[in-house]
Structure 1
């Protein structure tokens, strides 16, 4: 079995996803409106993939140190039920998620991009990152997406997992 086949075989073991927000689900930029509101650009293709994961029974956790309510609203709209805002210790949030969905950490694909994700990534079976992640994060990742944070890296990993489970179909709406 070559490395690509091993990689695909490992993806078959993924039963849930956990994502950081800034630098993974967004491009690491925060815009500030005239009223002082923080705005984070989000990729709609990444959003589609998250909605499909939720739709097909793959629980998705959003784990972020940020506290912006708009982040929770965005992911609630995509069907996420496990949204952790203002997290100081991402391992604690990850364990809570795994307990709530009754899935072992070894079956979780976690995508992070920077040092606050380091220990949570070490606690899962499939740590991944976008191609513009910090070097320390790239070193502990089992897969480095060819896409940057907020520019398709989430779609990349979710699509691969769902395709292997025969849950990725052309023309499928996010609202079916």
Structure 2
């Protein structure tokens, strides 16, 4: 997908869904109920690069599993998990932080991201996102969820 480069300083917040963006949307469930997911170390590098650009980052997920908060803690970024309404939570967060929604980049992959992605300035989809998400995306990554989506975005935003 060919898109125009972003203007320097256009993005004031980057928001990431967790499952299907930072993961490949699969979960390993052990017999004791413990769940684990695969994440890409490349995304950790991308998050560090975005941090160096001075852009705040947020994970916004409906998932309640503690793995989401654990990953956010390791990456040292804010998290809202267990969200019942991503649009409302995003609007509240941006209001509290005084961030213009037009300057928000949101990476989502499935229909539960759609309403939140409709109210922001720069919706982004991983290559394997739901067709409704790809339809509204201003940028579709070359890689699938869990394969370095944020790393790719860090390179795109830096240019």
TM-score past 0.5 threshold: yes
Distance 1:110 1:73 in 2: 21
Is 1:22 the counterpart of 2:19? The answer is yes
Distance 2:119 2:41 in 1: 29
Distance 1:10 1:119 in 2: 25
Q: What stretches of structure 1 of length at least 5 have no aligned partner?
A: 165-176
TM-fit CA distance, 1:149: 0.3
Higher RCO (CA < 8 A, seq sep 6+): 2
Aligned to 1:101: 97
TM-fit CA distance, 1:11: 6.7
Aligned to 1:133: 129
SS in 2 for 1:8: coil
TM-fit CA distance, 1:152: 1.3
SS in 1 for 2:42: helix
Aligned to 1:151: 147
Report the TM-score when normalising by structure 1: 0.83
User: RMSD in angstroms over aligned alpha carbons?
Assistant: 1.6
Is 1:13 the counterpart of 2:10? The answer is yes
Aligned to 1:174: none
4+ residue runs over 6 A deviation: none
Conserved 8 A contact 1:66-1:85: yes
Report the TM-score when normalising by structure 2: 0.92
1:62–1:134 CA distance, 2 compared to 1 (3 A): same
Is 1:33 the counterpart of 2:24? The answer is no
Aligned to 2:54: 57
1:92–1:67 CA distance, 2 compared to 1 (3 A): same
Q: Highest CA radius of gyration, 1 or 2?
A: 1
